Structures are given as C-alpha cells and as structure tokens.
C-alpha cells in the first residue's frame, strides 16, 4: 500500500494512475463502518484510496477534536487489510495553506438539525471534502448513511460545483445490538455503551418525533433533536460519561419504512 503525506507527492502519484479510483475520505479512527466503505471502493474500482485527515475546521468543540480516537499506525494497518491501495495522510498546514480563508458555505440545510447544534461544522466538512475531491479526483467517492445530513449536503455540493465524481451512499454498519458504528463509541463507559443502542430502537418506535425525543430524555439521553427529513427519521443525542471528556454525542437515522406503525408495535412506548 502506498502512503502519501505531501500534496505534491500525491499529485505525482495521481498523475501516473490509470484505471478507476474509488475514494473513502475519513477522519481516521477507522472501524468496521469504514471497512465496509473501503471494501466497496476496492470492489467497484481498480484502486481504493483512503484519506486520513483529522479535519480541525469541522470540530466546533475543541474537546471533541482533542479526544478524537485516531492512531496513524492502526489506521494504516486497517486500511491496508480492507483492500486500500493507497492512503493520503496530509498534515493540517498542507490542507489549510490558505488558513481556512476560503470556505464552502451552504444555507439553509447546514444550519438545521446537527448544524443548529454544531455551528460551522458543515462549512468545515464541505470545505475539506471539496479540497479532497479536487486533489484525489476520484471516479467514485463513498460516504456512510449514518451521517445522512452530511451525505445530503455533499451530494448537493457535488452537483452545485459540477464535481465529476459519483457520490456513493453506503448503508450504516451496526453492532449486533443495533448501535451504529462510530469512532466516538470508544469513548462510552460501560453504562453509556449499554444505553447507546436504545437510540436506534427509539427511532423505530411509533409516535411523533416529539414523543420519541421525550422517551429518549426519560432514558437518560440529552437530546439535540429527533426529526423527520429526507424520507428518514433522524436523531442526535448525547450520553453523559464519567470520563474527563464528558458526554458522547451519537447520531443515527433510519428510513421511514423501518419506523413501526402503532398497530405492529408490541410495546408502543419507546422507553
């Protein structure tokens, strides 16, 4: 597997490539959810490329950035084991040589749902994804449906800026108990880990979004929102932990077809 750290080094590598390229952008902290994206990129294309870049501009909370669990050594081994042929792992100065003077702004969706609770987050995401798509020039770029609002925004940006890469959506990968895989899950303590799958369960319960939010609050979640958009029910909620970093924020969503109707629900009350 080729590991490229510099922008010029990457450009030379890219210029010499023939065949199709599938791209999986990541923050690092690779887990089985990323594994599915990398395997898909490798299966669909002649070469799968993974980027490892802990993008500071999308973290509105410095504590969240500082505690993000990414290890270059582990991530390189993981990417290679899943079939990546190359990894692009640039440093912050290389990606933000402009000091983040130039940025992608979108409205109104960037200010809603997660955007309402994480000011500037989606501007950081869209800016880095545009930079990476311009550098990597993939035929296809792979994103997980867990971050559904992000996926919608990236699709819209690719269309608005005439990006030639196909944006490929991949299903959420879950643990056996239904918890959506996320790098942040590693920060849950035992009680938090036991509570976390209830987020997915609650999303599937009948009743209004407000009722689901109330039920999650009763369970001990600190709820940012439960909302129906894009033909899906989406939620973001935090679980308090005893670790110094404080609470762990989880997001999840399911298609509305998976929301049980009141008549087929065994319990009815999500709590």
Catalytic (active-site) positions:
34
Minimum CB separation of residue 132 from ligand PAF in Å reads 8
58 binds ligand PAF (CB under 6 A): yes
In the set 55, 149, 182, 253, which binds ligand PAF (CB under 6 A)?
55
CB 127 within 8 A of CB 92: no
Which helix (H) or strand (E) covers residue 195, if one does? helix 190-195
| Three-state SS letters, 38-91 | HHHHHHHCCEEEEEECCCHHHCCCHHHHHCCCCCHHHHHHHHHHCCCCEEECCC
Residue with Cβ nearer ligand PAF (126 or 205) = 126
* CA–CA separation, 27 and 49 (whole Å): 14
**DSSP, res 180:** B
Cis peptide before 108 (omega within 30 of 0): yes
* CA–CA separation, 142 and 167 (whole Å): 6
Residue with Cβ nearer ligand PAF (100 or 260) = 100
**Candidates 24-32, 75-83, 109-117, 185-193; binding stretch for ligand PAF (CB under 6 A):** 24-32
Site for ligand PAF in 131-150 (CB under 6 A): 147, 150
Residue with Cβ nearer ligand PAF (40 or 198) = 40
Site for ligand PAF in 100-119 (CB under 6 A): none
Residue with Cβ nearer ligand PAF (145 or 201) = 145
Could you give the 3-state DSSP secondary structure of residue 167?
A: strand
Minimum CB separation of residue 129 from ligand PAF in Å reads 5
Minimum CB separation of residue 243 from ligand PAF in Å reads 22
In the set 76, 114, 125, 248, which binds ligand PAF (CB under 6 A)?
125
25 binds ligand PAF (CB under 6 A): yes
Report the relative pairing of strands 248-255 and 232-239 from DSSP bridges. antiparallel
Where along the sequence are the contacts to ligand PAF (CB under 6 A)? 25-27, 55, 58, 125, 128-129, 147, 150
């Amino acid at each position: 597997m080729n590991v490229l750290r510099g922008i010029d080094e990457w450009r030379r590598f890219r210029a010499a490539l023939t065949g199709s390229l599938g791209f999986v952008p990541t923050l690092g902290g690779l887990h089985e959810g990323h594994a599915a994206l990398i395997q898909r990129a490798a299966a669909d294309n002649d070469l799968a490329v993974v980027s490892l870049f802990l993008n500071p501009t999308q973290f509105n909370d410095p504590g969240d950035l500082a505690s993000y669990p990414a290890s270059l050594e582990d991530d390189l081994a993981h990417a290679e084991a899943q079939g990546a042929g190359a990894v692009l792992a640039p440093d912050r100065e290389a990606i933000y040589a402009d000091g983040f003077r130039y940025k992608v702004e979108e409205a109104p969706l960037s200010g809603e749902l997660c955007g309402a609770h994480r000011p500037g987050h989606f501007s950081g995401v869209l800016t880095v994804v545009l930079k990476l798509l311009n550098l990597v020039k993939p035929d296809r770029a792979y994103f997980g449906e867990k971050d559904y609002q992000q996926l919608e925004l990236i699709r819209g940006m690719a269309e608005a800026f005439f990006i030639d890469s196909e944006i490929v959506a991949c299903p959420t990968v879950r643990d056996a108990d239904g918890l959506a895989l996320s790098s942040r899950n590693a920060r849950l303590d035992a009680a938090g880990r036991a509570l976390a799958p209830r987020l997915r369960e609650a999303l599937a319960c009948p009743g209004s979004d407000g009722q689901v939010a109330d039920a999650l609050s009763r369970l001990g979640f600190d709820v940012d929102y439960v909302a129906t958009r894009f033909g899906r029910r989406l939620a973001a909620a935090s679980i308090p932990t005893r670790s110094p970093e404080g609470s762990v924020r989880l997001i999840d969503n399911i298609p509305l077809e998976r929301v049980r109707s009141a008549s087929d629900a065994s319990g009815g009350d999500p709590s």
